[in-house]
Amino acid sequence: MNNEEQVELSFVRMWDFSLEGKHVPLNIDKRFIVLRGSSGFYSYAIYEHLPEWPPFEIGETRITFKLRKDKFQYMAIADDKQRKMPLPDDRMQGRCQPLAYPEAVLLVNPVDPELKGEVDDKYQYSLPNKDICVHGWMSFNPPVGFWQITPSNEFRSGGPLKQNLTSHVGPTTLAMFLSGHYAGKDLVPKFGPGEAWKKVFGPVLIYVNSASDADPGLLWEDAKMQMMTEVENWPYSFPASEDFYKSHQRGNVSGRLLLHDRYVNYSYIPAEGAYIGLAPPGDVGSWQRECKGYQFWTQSDEQGMFCIKNIRPGDYNLYAWVPGFIGDYHNDSIIAISPGAFLEMGDLVFEPPRDGPTLWEIGIPDRSAAEFYVPDPNPLHINRLYVNHPERRKEDNTHHGTTWQIKFNLDHLDRSNAYKLRVAIASATLAELQCEHPRDYAGGRGKHPVPDSTEVQRPLSRDHV
């Protein structure tokens, strides 16, 4: 497309059987858009696999930009995650010490001596999909910002909590679409014989701004404002491909989510702040492993009301979880979205798992470990972005681990019924949860493992709740 307001370029690589074993069996259409008056450009891609083609899997796909290391040395991925970064030279032999895996190195002789003793690792800058809206780099001479803005997560895999890479030493900026990071093979789409597939990734915006002085705050704040503008304009009206559905080609779903927890309130409770989404049909929590289709998420208001807008046509289930309550809501009815549809689902009721009143609770079941203390790292292996927070330290500048004793009042012990311990885990990788209990508390006969049949003692390889 080429007119007075827009230029769109399409670079296509078609696949046929002469390429078998040489290239992944996909038709790939990579596109770039420049709009009049826009300080940047948009990019998106369309992948297509025909049913007669060989089976395959996609471990990862993304857009990558690498900037000039002599200019872009200050990185920002969030309001509270901004810093001067090491140079790529600092990761070379003689300037760093390899650590447990290739991405992590200890800076022993960096170009900037102030960075000596820090660890550089691109995974330290990962964020959940829901928080990866804008990130990038700043140059101070001249004061210029280079930003990657993602106005929608509908095309990303794993839902709003899936963690992905952002920006890191290079200087590198990524727009991640599919990855198995923090999840492994469950988040790698696999396509079998006879399986057709087509998906649009993006568009995302590569935004460039400038400022009159070298205040990084001005560049970052402007980038955030541009991000909000892009979100308001989603879905875009200008992409030329018919595979990218415009607003009038999409549908909407609304309703209200209520909680029914008789041990909190006999009446229904509005599910305030609930995460509510549409994803391909599946089991409870299957949205966390979904990586082939599209997902659309929102949060409910204080009355539990929600509206999910601009949904691509297709069949979905509705999923939800409510911060402060264990468990997942799943409506297994097929929700068929057609162009222009406005579906009202009315009141939906989520009953969190319950066997009785809560005797005690540590933490908040909100799929985050924010309120738990994370021990200080080995002082030889630090990233100064994440240490020296005064609110995490005692007056003597130390932390002391403790063995917790949970003491609570129990007016009546009902020996005829079971008491259940529930553990909600926000995330786990290569970990194992072990629970033990005293067989005879009064007699002090020691601890015995919970029988394996409880499925409490087991390895954890991905997010569990």
Residues in the chain: 465
Tell me which long-range contacts 10-13 makes (C-beta under 8 A, separation of at least 24): 10/240, 10/241
Checking if the pLDDT of 465 tops 70, the result is: no
* Whether 228 and 341 share a structural domain: no
Checking if the pLDDT of 327 tops 70, the result is: yes
Name the phi and psi angles at 220, rounded to 5. -65, -45
The answer to whether 280 and 159 are in contact (CB under 8 A) is no
* Whether 323 and 407 share a structural domain: no
CATH number of the domain within which 327 lies: 2.60.40.1120
User: Residue 239 domain-assigned?
Assistant: no
If you average pLDDT over residues 431-456, what whole number do you get?
Answer: 55
* Whether 172 and 55 share a structural domain: yes
Cα separation, 270 vs 256, whole angstroms: 8
Checking if the pLDDT of 391 tops 90, the result is: no
User: DSSP code of 384?
Assistant: G
The answer to whether 146 and 125 are in contact (CB under 8 A) is no
Which residue, 249, 251, 207, is CA-closest to 228? 207
User: Residue 340 domain-assigned?
Assistant: yes
Domain's final residue, options 232, 263, 285:
232
* Whether 163 and 37 share a structural domain: yes
Chain segment 83-142, per-residue pLDDT in tens: 999 999 999 999 999 999 999 999 999 999 999 999 999 999 999 999 999 999 999 989
Chain segment 10-39, per-residue pLDDT in tens: 999 999 999 999 999 999 999 999 999 999
DSSP string, 85-123: ---GGGGSBTTEEE-SSTT-EEESS-SSGGGTTBEE-GG
In three-state secondary structure terms, 365 is coil
* Higher-confidence position of 441 and 32: 32
Amino acid 387: pLDDT: 66
Of these ranges, 80-94, 350-364, 404-418, the one predicted with the greatest mean pLDDT is: 80-94
* Whether 10 and 64 share a structural domain: yes
* Whether 16 and 127 share a structural domain: yes
Checking if the pLDDT of 1 tops 80, the result is: no
Domain residues for 131?
Answer: 6-232
Domain's final residue, options 199, 232, 265:
232
* Whether 224 and 282 share a structural domain: no
**Beta 163-164 vs 127-128: how paired, if at all?**
antiparallel
Q: Among the listed ranges 24-33, 350-359, 415-424, 429-438, which one has the minimum average pLDDT value?
A: 429-438
Amino acid 443: pLDDT: 44
pTM equals 0.88
Domains held by the chain: number: 3
Chain segment 271-318, per-residue pLDDT in tens: 999 999 999 999 999 999 999 999 999 999 999 999 999 999 999 999
**Structure tokens given for 151:** 């106005």
User: Residue 238 domain-assigned?
Assistant: no
* Whether 212 and 272 share a structural domain: no
* Whether 290 and 152 share a structural domain: no
* Whether 340 and 365 share a structural domain: no
Q: Which residues pair with 29 in a beta bridge?
A: 12, 46
Residue 446's pLDDT band, with cuts at 50, 70 and 90, is: very low
Which residue, 119, 73, 111, 121, is CA-closest to 90? 111
Cα separation, 117 vs 380, whole angstroms: 6
Residue 401's pLDDT band, with cuts at 50, 70 and 90, is: low
User: Residue 1 domain-assigned?
Assistant: no
Cα separation, 61 vs 189, whole angstroms: 11
Domain's final residue, options 232, 267, 295:
232
Cα separation, 180 vs 373, whole angstroms: 27
Q: Which residue has the tokens 């650590």?
A: 99
Strand stretches in 87-214, DSSP E: 96-98, 105-107, 119-120, 127-128, 134-140, 143-149, 163-164, 167-168, 172-179, 190-191, 197-210
Chain segment 260-278, per-residue pLDDT in tens: 998 888 899 999 999 999 9
User: Residue 177 domain-assigned?
Assistant: yes
Cα separation, 152 vs 127, whole angstroms: 15
Amino acid 398: pLDDT: 54
User: Residue 58 domain-assigned?
Assistant: yes
* Whether 278 and 209 share a structural domain: no
* Whether 221 and 150 share a structural domain: yes
If you average pLDDT over residues 357-381, what whole number do you get?
Answer: 83
User: Residue 91 domain-assigned?
Assistant: yes
Amino acid 353: pLDDT: 92
CATH number of the domain within which 124 lies: 2.70.98.10
User: DSSP code of 390?
Assistant: G
Percentage, residues of the chain above pLDDT 70: 89
Checking if the pLDDT of 160 tops 70, the result is: yes
User: Residue 207 domain-assigned?
Assistant: yes
Cα separation, 109 vs 93, whole angstroms: 10
